[in-house]
Structure 1
Amino acid sequence: MATICAKVLKHHLKNDGTYNVKIRITHKKEKRYIDTEHFVTARQLTKALEIKDAFINRLVNLKIDEYRLAISSISEKLDFFDADGIRDFLLKNNKEIDFIEFCDSHIQQLKESKRGGTAANHTTVRNSLVDYFGRERVLITEITASMLKSFEKFLRSPRTISRENQFKRVVTTESGGITDAGLYNYMRDLRTLFNEARELYNDEDLGIIRIVHYPFNKYKVGSPPATRNRNLSVKQVIKISEFNTKKNSRTELARDMFMLSFYLCGINAVDLYNVSEINIKKERLEYNRSKTEGRRKDEAFISVKIVEEAVPLIKKYIGKLQLRYSTSRGFDGALSKGMKTLQILTGIPEVTYYWARHSFATCARNDCRISKDDIAVALNHVDIGHRTTDIYIAKDWKIVDDVQIQVLSLLRNYRR
C-alpha cells in the first residue's frame, strides 16, 4: 500500500532561509516527492524538521487527504504502479485539463504524421472554440451538452472572424454562418478531438478516469446531410479551360489548377501543392495521396500519366507553388478566392476546385460508361469490400490510364 506524508528535507534549504514543504510518496520501498506551494522557515519546524505551524499543517493535510482519496480510487490496481507511476498519476489527476492545449498538441502530432488535411480541419474547430469562449484556455469540463447546443447556434450565426494569414498578418473577414453540412463537419471533428482526449487521459485498465463526462451521449452529431451533385458538364469544363484571364492572377491559378486536377484524375489541391519534380518519373506523376496516406498499407500511392494537356501546366506550376505560398492552407485560400471570381466571370452557377474531381468521375461513369471499380482506382480510393482481395492483386496503372484517356477523349471530341 502506498503511504503519503509531508516532509521537509534538510539539504533543500534555500538561500532565503526557507524550505519547500514536500509530499512524500512511499510505495514498494521506493520514495518519490511532490513539491507543494508552501515554504517554511526554521522557526516553523521542530528540530526533527517536522512542521509545527498549525496553519501550514492544515493546508498541507488537505492536499494529502486529496491525494489519499485519489489513490484509493485505484487501490485495486496499485500493484501495477511503481512510485513514479503514482506520483505522475497524482500530478496529472490534480491538474485540470486545458482542452485548447490538448488540441494544439494533437494537431501538431497530426502534422508530424503528414495528416495535414485533418490537422487543418481540427485547427478550424479549435479556433472556433476560442472565438466562442473568447479566451485561449478552455477546460474540458466546460465542453458540455448544453455548451454544444449553444456552440451550434454560434456557428450558424453571422460573425466576424480574425485569423493570421501566411504572412502572420491578422486578416478580418465576415462569416454569414455555416451550412448544415458545415455544422456536421464541425461537430464531428469536435467529437473526434474529445474522443482523442479521453483516449489520452483515461486508462480504463488501471481505473484512471480523468474525463468522466461525455457530452455526446446527450448531444447527437447526427448523420451527414445528403451530398448534392458537384459536377460540371463537359461543355462547362471546356468553358473553364478556354477562359482568358489576367496573367499571374488568382483567377488564372484557379483555372489552371482546376484543369490540371481534371487532367490528372482529380488530384487534390494539397497534393498539387506538395509534389515536385521528384514525383515526375517517365512522363508519369507518382505521389501518395495526403488525405489517406497515413491510413492505408499502400500509403495511398498512385501513378498517373502526364497527358499532353497537362504538360504545360506541370512545367508552369509543379515545384513552384511552395515558393509562391508558404503553406498549403495559403494556397487553398488563394485557390478558393480565384474559383469564386472564375465562377462569376464564366457565368457558371456554382463551382469550386473540388468539383474537378467530381466532374472527372461523373464524366467517366455517365458519359464514358466506365465501371465504378475502375473509376475508384483512378480516384485512388480504397475499396472496403475488396480490401482482402486487393492484397493478392498487383497494381495495374493501365486501368488508371484507360479511365483517364477515355475522359480526355470525350473532352477533345467536344472541342472539335
Structure 2
Amino acid sequence: MATIRLTVLSSIKEHDGRLPILVCISQKKERAYIKTEFLLDDIAEFDNGKVAYRKDANVMNKRLEFVFSQYKEKFDSIECIDYFSAIQIKRIIMSKERPSHISFLEFWKQRINEIREEGRESYAKMNEETVRVFTNAEGDVPIPAINTLLVEHFKKWMIKKGYANGNIGLRLTHLKARINELIKSGVLKTDVHPFAYTKIPTAEPKECDLLIEEFQKIQRAEVEGKRLNLGRDMFLLSFYLCGINLKDLLSVDLSVDILSFERIKTVHAKTGKSVITIPIHSEAKAIISKYINKRGFLDLGYSYTYSNLQKYINLCMRELKEHLGIKQTLCFYSARKTFAQFASELGIPDGVIDYCLGHSDKSRGVIRYYTKVKQKQAEIAINRVVDYTNNPEKYTEYIEMRADIMLMKG
C-alpha cells in the first residue's frame, strides 16, 4: 500500500551540509523523495515527523504542514494508486495538473516508461508501436471499459487492415500482458477475462535453419571484403556459442575459456533466472581472436547504434547468402535455429538443447529447477554438434536410423 510522509535522511544533503526535509513516497519496497525548501542543521532537529529543538520550530512546522498538505491532497486524489510505482506517484504529484482518472492509454504509456527505465528499450519500442496500432483502432478507453468485445474488435480491425498473423499475435500479446497487470493489481475487476473468447494467432515458423551442406558452404568459404567476412564470422561465432544472440554476444567477456552469462532477454523475467555456462570451443576462439579488444569484448570496428549494427550484420549475411548461392534464409537468428536443429537431429536431449539456448522450458514445470543440466552435458553437446559440422558423414547412418525410428513412433 502506498504511503506519504515527511522524513530527513543523513545521506541527502545540500552543498553546505544542511539537510532538506523530504516528502517520502513509499510503495512496496520502493522509495521516492521530493525535496522541500525547509533545511535543518542536524538530523536531531527532526523528531516524529516535525521540526524540534529550534527557536523557529513552530513557524517552520506551520509552513511545513501547509506544503505537505498540498502534496498529500494530490496523493489522495490519485486513483488506482496501488498499481503505480513510487517514482510514478512522485511524477504525478509534482505535475502541474491535478491527477484525474487514468485512462488505459495513459496507464500503458506510463508502463512503457517503467519498462524503459528497466533497460528494456527494445520491448518498450515494440509496446509503443502496439499503442499506436491500438489507438488507431480503438482510440483511448477508460480501464473499466476493457472487455471481451473490445479485444475481439481490435483483432478483427487488424485482420481487416491486412496485418499478418505474426503482427496480430504480437500486438495482442502486448495487450494481454497489460490487461493481466491491471487485473493482478486489482485495478481492472472483471468476472470474464477480456481474452476469454479471443485466440491469439501465431506466426508461421521462420524457416531459417540451414542444411548441413549449406552450413559447410559458409564454414569453408574463403571470401573477400569486410561485409562478407563479417557476415560469415558472426554467423559461425553465434553458432559455435550455441546460437547466442547479438546483444548477448556484444556484452559478454570472451577472453575466458568458460562463458557464463544470463540472457539479457530474461534478466527481468519473473519466473526464475537462467544462467548459461558453456565452454568456448576452439572454433569460436579462432573467430574471437580477430575481433576481441583488450577488455575481452568484441570490437567490430563500427560506431553504429545497436539497432543499426544489427541491421548491418543481417545485410552482410544476406550478401553472403547471395554470394554462396544459399537458398535458405540467412540472418543472425539462423545460427540459433541451425544449432538447435543439428543438435536435435543428433539425438541430444531437449533439456540439454534448452539449456544451451537459455530457454526456460516452462512446460517442464518445477522439475527442471531440481534437475539442472550440468555444464559437462552442454560441453558434450557442443562438441558433438561441431564434430558433425566438420565430419557429417560419421553421423549419416545414425541420423537416418533415428529418423526412421521417429517416423515409426509417429
Query: Under a length normalisation based on structure 2, what TM-score does the superposition of the two structures give?
Result: 0.60
What SS is found at the alignment partner of 1:89?
coil
Q: Aligned partners of 2:221, 2:177: CA distance in 1, in Å? A: 42
Mapped contact 1:31–1:83 kept (Cα < 8 A):
no
Q: Aligned partners of 1:326, 1:212: CA distance in 2, in Å? A: 49
- Identify which of 306, 315, 320 aligns with 1:328: 306
Mapped contact 1:273–1:331 kept (Cα < 8 A):
no
Cα deviations by residue, 1:29-83 (Å, 9 ceiling, x for unpaired): x999789xxxxxxxxxxxxxxxxxxxxxxxxxxxxxxxxxxxxxxxxxxxxxx97
- Identify which of 96, 103, 110 aligns with 1:97: 103
- Identify which of 187, 194, 218 aligns with 1:203: 187
Q: Is there any run of 5+ residues in structure 2 with no aligned partner, and where?
A: 1-65, 81-96, 395-410
What SS is found at the alignment partner of 1:303?
strand
Mapped contact 1:262–1:359 kept (Cα < 8 A):
yes
Go from structure 1 to structure 2 and tell me whether the alpha carbon gap of 1:116 and 1:96 turns closer, same or farther (over 3 Å shift): closer
Go from structure 1 to structure 2 and tell me whether the alpha carbon gap of 1:126 and 1:300 turns closer, same or farther (over 3 Å shift): same
1:408 shift after superposition: 0.4
- Identify which of 385, 396, 400 aligns with 2:374: 396
- Identify which of 130, 134, 159 aligns with 1:125: 130
Is 1:254 equivalent to 2:260 in the alignment? no
Which segments of structure 1 move beyond 6 Å, counting only runs of 4 or more? 30-35, 90-93, 211-215
- Identify which of 232, 236, 241 aligns with 2:210: 232
Aligned to 1:186: 171
Instruction: State how 1:17-416 maps to structure 2 within 5 Å.
Output: 86-89=76-79, 94-95=100-101, 97=103, 99=105, 102-126=107-131, 128=133, 132=136, 139-141=140-142, 144-145=150-151, 146-154=153-161, 156=162, 179-196=164-181, 203=187, 216=195, 220-225=198-203, 227=205, 229-249=207-227, 251-277=228-254, 280-281=255-256, 283-295=257-269, 299-317=273-291, 319-320=297-298, 324-345=302-323, 346-366=325-345, 368-384=346-362, 386-393=364-371, 396-414=374-392
Q: Aligned partners of 2:263, 2:253: CA distance in 1, in Å? A: 14
Aligned to 1:72: none
Q: Aligned partners of 1:385, 1:98: CA distance in 2, in Å? A: 32
Larger radius of gyration: 1
Tell me the amino acid that sits aligned with residue 231 of structure 1: D
What SS is found at the alignment partner of 1:287?
strand
Go from structure 1 to structure 2 and tell me whether the alpha carbon gap of 1:323 and 1:86 turns closer, same or farther (over 3 Å shift): farther
Q: Aligned partners of 1:216, 1:87: CA distance in 2, in Å? A: 31
Cα deviations by residue, 1:214-259 (Å, 9 ceiling, x for unpaired): 86566x243425536542111111112334445332x443322211
Go from structure 1 to structure 2 and tell me whether the alpha carbon gap of 1:214 and 1:148 turns closer, same or farther (over 3 Å shift): farther
Q: Aligned partners of 1:105, 1:322: CA distance in 2, in Å? A: 36
Q: Is there any run of 5+ residues in structure 1 with no aligned partner, and where?
A: 1-29, 36-81, 157-177
Q: Aligned partners of 2:107, 2:303: CA distance in 1, in Å? A: 28
Tell me the amino acid that sits aligned with residue 304 of structure 1: I
What SS is found at the alignment partner of 2:261?
strand
1:308 shift after superposition: 1.6
Q: Aligned partners of 1:336, 1:394: CA distance in 2, in Å? A: 34
Mapped contact 1:96–1:139 kept (Cα < 8 A):
no
Go from structure 1 to structure 2 and tell me whether the alpha carbon gap of 1:295 and 1:96 turns closer, same or farther (over 3 Å shift): closer
What SS is found at the alignment partner of 1:267?
coil
Go from structure 1 to structure 2 and tell me whether the alpha carbon gap of 1:326 and 1:389 turns closer, same or farther (over 3 Å shift): same
Go from structure 1 to structure 2 and tell me whether the alpha carbon gap of 1:102 and 1:239 turns closer, same or farther (over 3 Å shift): farther
1:376 shift after superposition: 2.0
Go from structure 1 to structure 2 and tell me whether the alpha carbon gap of 1:296 and 1:331 turns closer, same or farther (over 3 Å shift): farther
1:360 shift after superposition: 1.0
Query: Under a length normalisation based on structure 1, what TM-score does the superposition of the two structures give?
Result: 0.59
What SS is found at the alignment partner of 1:119?
helix
1:262 shift after superposition: 1.0
Cα deviations by residue, 1:343-372 (Å, 9 ceiling, x for unpaired): 333332323321211211111121x22222
1:299 shift after superposition: 2.8
Go from structure 1 to structure 2 and tell me whether the alpha carbon gap of 1:116 and 1:89 turns closer, same or farther (over 3 Å shift): closer
Mapped contact 1:273–1:322 kept (Cα < 8 A):
no
Q: Aligned partners of 1:96, 1:110: CA distance in 2, in Å? A: 18
Go from structure 1 to structure 2 and tell me whether the alpha carbon gap of 1:323 and 1:124 turns closer, same or farther (over 3 Å shift): farther
What SS is found at the alignment partner of 1:362?
helix
Go from structure 1 to structure 2 and tell me whether the alpha carbon gap of 1:149 and 1:85 turns closer, same or farther (over 3 Å shift): same
What SS is found at the alignment partner of 1:260?
helix
RMSD: 4.1
Q: Aligned partners of 2:130, 2:311: CA distance in 1, in Å? A: 17
In the alignment of these two chains, the number of paired residues is 302
1:316 shift after superposition: 3.4
Go from structure 1 to structure 2 and tell me whether the alpha carbon gap of 1:198 and 1:32 turns closer, same or farther (over 3 Å shift): farther
Tell me the amino acid that sits aligned with residue 413 of structure 1: N
